[in-house]
Amino acid sequence: MPLSRRQLLARGLGVATAFAARGRALAAFAPSAVARTVLNVGMRPGLPVKSPLHASSLARFVDALPIPEVVKASGSRPDPTKPTQRLPFHRLEMRELEVQVHRDVKPTRCWSYGTGVPGPTFETRSGQGLLVEWVNSLPNRHLFPVDHSICGAGANVPEVRTVPHVHGARVPARSDGYPENWFTRGKSALYHYPNQQEATTLWYHDHAMGIERLNQYAGLFGAFLVRDETEAALGLPSGPYDIPLFIFDRLFDAAGQLQYPNSGIPDAPWVSEVYGDAMLINGKLFPYLDVEARPYRFRLINASNSRFYYLSLSNGQAFHQIGSDQGLLPGPVPLQTLILAPGERADIVVDFSASGGSELLLKSQSFVLMQFRVSRKPPSAAAALPVSLRPVKRIPRSTAVKTRSLTLKEYQDPKTNAMVMLLNAAYWRYPVTEKPQLDTVEIWELLNFTEDNHPIHLHLVRFQLLERQHFDVETFNFKGELRTLGAPLPPDANETGWKDTIQAYPEMITRIIVPFHGYPGRYVWHCHVLEHAANEMMRPFEVIAAPRRAAAL
Ligand SMILES: [Cu+2]
């Protein structure tokens, strides 16, 4: 079988540059020189699990799909921005506990924001702010091996650290969960979520520097739904017919315990990607859901570390995507397959009206995820899906005050075999280079030199996809010239809404247009393949407040 370019490069062919130790040597290069270097990558796979649980051998559809409980407020506290007003106050405690992932699997030790994985769901309304005290009551030892060579996870910092982030929330910087703002057992953080944004499916998860991938794998995530009047007026399936579906893959051992793969390299257990053979839906393996013969709304959330899903129904029936990361699409988009990257959300409506008495499977390629058991009862009356949902005004390119070309590249040190993935050839610790001004619009061109699809997430903002375009990777590598190949490809219909995580396709330029609305301050942008983000595919950006006018000085 011919080797891929990646495999060839991983074997050392074509490596033209000698980097010494990770960090020290790359830091010696100017970013532009680094960006032009011919580079390569090696996959760093994990060692096989000793005495694994083979998920495929488990009995299917013996557990009902769990629906996470809804977070309840415990009183109110003063609004930090208007102390005369009070906001609902919530307290979530992170704890280690045991969950039952399947009838025939022994209880699994995990970490949770509530009583299970995923944690409880926030039900919020647009414009109604709230306060959350996030409390760390976790043990002092991590469930999984910590790689102390990873940035921010050195042996000089506590092993267990947490900082929660609400993915997609427009929040002041101090409440965003900046990766370095972690706190340890016995400590907490009080965050303010103003919710000044449109109805959508957000989710919260841990973001602690250097161990985010481990904390999320342990179970630290949950849903954060924002609702509004416009959405309510559409008559979409609601109440028991509106269900969040978290999809996440894991590896287990025969004793039912989570296994996070280890590279086997002493002192450097980091692996480049994680793929489990056990697919959990809301925390169960092969769950079933009894449904009526009517439309249902499902909020699909990919909470996997690395895995993309290719979702379809076993009977080949179409479903409609009605929303993406940051809210409703202009209109429902009929699909038979939906590709969901880590961090992305898709709001879909599945109509079971014509499937009374049958059993349908939700699948991802050859993986069976869950079963829908459709009632034999005749279809109940349900409102038809509206033709129009919410207008999404396209942002004119002419409004952009700046275009940034930003590379996504993988690098390998031929001596140590250490691998890093960098955004614009810059380490986390380099000075901040992306400093958009508040309330301006920028175009970000993501030049992906790799053979991977990287889901790139920007905190704070929502954005639109302009287009994707192939480019000549080798010409750029050898000559530093950007040569595009072919015409730009417009977004697919289900990518024409507001996004906060975009799939940057391999060897393509992905152009997004970003209004930097919200708040000034320091945020992050990163790949949502958590293993990539941990090994340097994450950078700060800083929103600069508009200069004060003379009259205000
Ligand atoms: Cu990535």
Into how many domains does the chain fold?
A: 3
Percent of the chain with pLDDT over 70: 90
Q: In what order do the strands lie in the sheet with 278-281?
A: 284-285, 278-281, 242-250, 295-302, 345-351, 319-324, 327-335
Sequence-distant (≥ 6) Cβ neighbours of residue 447 within 8 angstroms? 405, 406, 407, 408, 471, 476, 482, 509
CB 187 within 8 Å of CB 158: no
- Residue range 177-196: mean pLDDT, rounded: 98
pLDDT beyond 90 at 58: yes
Distance 551 CA to ligand 1 centre (A): 46
Are residues 259 and 317 both part of a single domain? yes
Distance 307 CA to ligand 1 centre (A): 11
Sequence-distant (≥ 6) Cβ neighbours of residue 7 within 8 angstroms? none
pLDDT beyond 90 at 519: yes
Q: pLDDT at position 25, please?
A: 30
Residue 27 lies in a domain: yes
Tokens representing residue 524 in the block: 């992050």
Distance 401 CA to ligand 1 centre (A): 27
pLDDT band at 9 (very low <50, low <70, confident <90, very high): very low
Distance 518 CA to ligand 1 centre (A): 26
Residue 551 lies in a domain: no
Q: pLDDT at position 380, please?
A: 76
Q: pLDDT at position 382, please?
A: 75
Give the CA distances from residue 352 to residues 206, 245, 281, 312, in Å, rounded to whole numbers and listed in that order.
35, 17, 19, 14
CB 345 within 8 Å of CB 300: yes
Domain ends where: 205, 230, 255? 230
Are residues 224 and 272 both part of a single domain? no
Distance 531 CA to ligand 1 centre (A): 8
Amino acid at 117: V
Are residues 440 and 509 both part of a single domain? yes
Distance 546 CA to ligand 1 centre (A): 32
- Residue range 278-293: mean pLDDT, rounded: 98
Residue 130 lies in a domain: yes
pLDDT band at 7 (very low <50, low <70, confident <90, very high): very low
Q: pLDDT at position 43, please?
A: 65
Residue 387 lies in a domain: no
Are residues 477 and 417 both part of a single domain? yes
pLDDT beyond 70 at 487: yes
What proportions of the chain, in percent to the nearest 5, are helix, strand and coil? 10, 40, 50
Distance 507 CA to ligand 1 centre (A): 13
The pLDDT tens digits of the residues spanning 221-261 come to: 999 999 999 999 999 999 999 999 999 999 999 999 999 99
Of 318, 311, 320, nearest to 338 (Cα)? Answer: 311
Distance 87 CA to ligand 1 centre (A): 37
- Per the document, the length of the chain is 553
Amino acid at 503: Q
Domain extent at residue 270: 239-374
pLDDT band at 378 (very low <50, low <70, confident <90, very high): confident
Task: Name the average pLDDT for the chain.
Answer: 91
- Residue range 347-376: mean pLDDT, rounded: 97
The pLDDT tens digits of the residues spanning 119-171 come to: 999 999 999 999 999 999 999 999 999 999 999 999 999 999 999 999 999 99
The pLDDT tens digits of the residues spanning 415-429 come to: 666 788 999 999 999
Tokens representing residue 23 in the block: 């960090």
Are residues 33 and 142 both part of a single domain? no
| CATH number reported for the structural domain that contains residue 258 in this entry | 2.60.40.420
Of 473, 539, 528, nearest to 504 (Cα)? Answer: 528
Are residues 345 and 427 both part of a single domain? no
Are residues 95 and 183 both part of a single domain? yes
- Residue range 354-383: mean pLDDT, rounded: 93
The C-alpha torsion from 13 through 261 and 117 to 182, rounded to 10°, is -80
- Residue range 179-201: mean pLDDT, rounded: 98
The DSSP output letter for 105 is: S
Q: Which residues of 340-356 are buried (b: 16+ CB within 10 A; e: fewer)?
A: bbbbbbbbbbbbbeebe
Residue 549 lies in a domain: no
Residue 248 lies in a domain: yes
pLDDT beyond 60 at 22: no
Phi, psi (rounded to 5 degrees) for 124: -130, 165
- Residue range 102-112: mean pLDDT, rounded: 98
Are residues 209 and 75 both part of a single domain? yes
The pLDDT tens digits of the residues spanning 308-341 come to: 999 999 999 999 999 999 999 999 999 999 999 9
Q: pLDDT at position 403, please?
A: 98
pLDDT beyond 70 at 504: yes
At which residue do the structure tokens 């290069």 appear? 29
Residue 410 lies in a domain: yes
pLDDT beyond 50 at 32: no
- Residue range 489-498: mean pLDDT, rounded: 98
CA 479 from chain centre, in angstroms, equals 34
Q: pLDDT at position 412, please?
A: 78
Are residues 325 and 439 both part of a single domain? no
Are residues 258 and 176 both part of a single domain? no
Distance 41 CA to ligand 1 centre (A): 13
* Residue 148 DSSP SS3: coil
Distance 550 CA to ligand 1 centre (A): 44
Are residues 222 and 243 both part of a single domain? no
Are residues 207 and 269 both part of a single domain? no
Distance 453 CA to ligand 1 centre (A): 7
Of 529, 528, 527, 523, nearest to 544 (Cα)? Answer: 523
Residue 548 lies in a domain: no
Distance 533 CA to ligand 1 centre (A): 7
pTM of the model: 0.91
Q: pLDDT at position 266, please?
A: 84
pLDDT beyond 80 at 111: yes
Cα–Cα dist 527/523, whole Å? 14
